[in-house]
Amino acid sequence: MDDFWSGIGVDLHLEPDAGAGRRSGLERALRDAVRDGRLAPGTLLPATRRLAVELGVSRGTAKAAYDQLVAEGYLTARQGSGTQVAVLPARSPDPARDPARARAPLFDLRPGSPDVGSFPVAAWLRALRRAVAAAPSPAYDYGDPRGRIELRTALSGYLGRARGVIAPPERIVVTSGYVQGLALLTRVLGPGAIAMEDPGLPFHRDVVRHNGGTVVPVRVDGRGAGAGVPGDAAAVVVTPAHQYPTGVTLHPERRRALTDWARAGGGLIVEDDYDGEFRYDRQPVGALQGMAPGHVAYLGTASKTLGPALRLGWMVLPPHLVDAVADAKLHSDHHTESIGQLALAELIEGHAYDRHVRASRLRYRRRRDRLLERLGPLRGVRGVAAGLHALVDVRDEDAVLERAVAEGLAVGWLGEHWHTPGDGLPQGLVVGYGTPREHAYPQALEVLGRVLEGH
């Protein structure tokens, strides 16, 4: 019996209603499991002999239950292929239960995501195979909360040569993304004021507040943020390479002003290197961290270069914050999963990551150019020197958004990003040209053009 339970087979958790009779109870349990999605279409079910032993019923009872559900269309049975869950007819989505699906846009130009269809599947699989084949046994155990040394070493070299970051491996902490990094820093800094760009992403402000910080706005103008940082702020969060959502690059004078502020008062600059790799009209602007590595916490991720699903990010920290952040990481999730870290390290060390970034940069530049060709004659389009989004000037956000919804077009808008919304603030559409799949982009642009024409 011990060999039976530990042997090769398909596990199936069911709780038949004994009061309904053995056969009827088993049929009902299977039917309910298929209906509510616990047994997905195509799931292979255990053989009747095994199911009978597991549930303490006769094999005939198990076979009769299977046969009944095959007759009802819930299961399929083929000689040599076993019994599987059938594909049930699709039902129309219920907006009350699944509003996101019901409102899925026909044309998606929302900002914040890359073209996930361009994920380098073949290169990733090669890197994964090599990394797993070479991984030592401890790689599959609990690990250092700072992350695998292989990835921290690879990032140290890459960030130094590609972004101008001073990044010794011992000062790097691997995270599950920018949001986790921002949350960890907020906790380590403790209660106090954290200055954040205005306009900026509302969710990031929520992350700071949720982790004990108080958000104070710093207005972004044509030279970026940095003017008028409150003297009592413990930190200021900026996106120097390509500000979100305005697309402004932080001016050199503002960079110097920020680093002077940090040195003078011991404040921390949190640098979100948003879209840092995607500069189109000249060489990428180096990271702010290189100017004051002892006062800047540099945060980057693979979400825009590869895809958000990887959940891999990194922080390069001033020496005095490393231990505290590592301890906070340990008590947050112990450590970020290791296999993906090993694969990314291999991708970077083998330069496949560089090749993918360069190819993506060319593809997104072409998309940027198509956006300018379609909208240039219509209105001002700003923030297009880098990144995956552009800011399009409009006079009446509400009216334009109403037309967009009518056309099935989803876009972002500037009004949702202000710290304190109100009349008299600049208006605009935040158009993400990284999100659509390649074949869908031209039509999405045409719909955007129609929405804006005559406005």
CB 106 within 8 A of CB 409: yes
Task: Tell me the HSE value of 146 on the side-chain side, using a 13 A CA sphere.
Answer: 19
Average pLDDT, the chain: 89
* CA 378 vs CA 7, 14, 248, 405, 443: distances in Å: 68, 62, 21, 20, 17
User: For position 423, what pLDDT does the model report?
Assistant: 74
More confident call, 252 vs 81: 252
Matching residue, tokens 């949350």: 183
Domains of the chain and CATH, by start = 2-85 (1.10.10.10), 107-117+354-452 (3.90.1150.10), 119-353 (3.40.640.10)
Instruction: With cut-offs at 50, 70 and 90, classify the pLDDT of residue 455.
Output: low
Nearest-CA neighbor of 387 among 245, 181, 219? 245
The two structure tokens encoding residue 281: 């009209």
As a whole-number percent, the residues of the chain with pLDDT over 70 amount to 93
pLDDT tens digits, residue range 3-33?
A: 444 444 567 788 887 777 788 888 888 988 8
Secondary structure in 3-state letters for 76-109: EEECCCEEEECCCCCCCCCCCCCHHHHCCCCEEE
pTM for this model (two decimals): 0.80
User: For position 98, what pLDDT does the model report?
Assistant: 40
Q: Give the mean pLDDT of 78-105.
A: 62
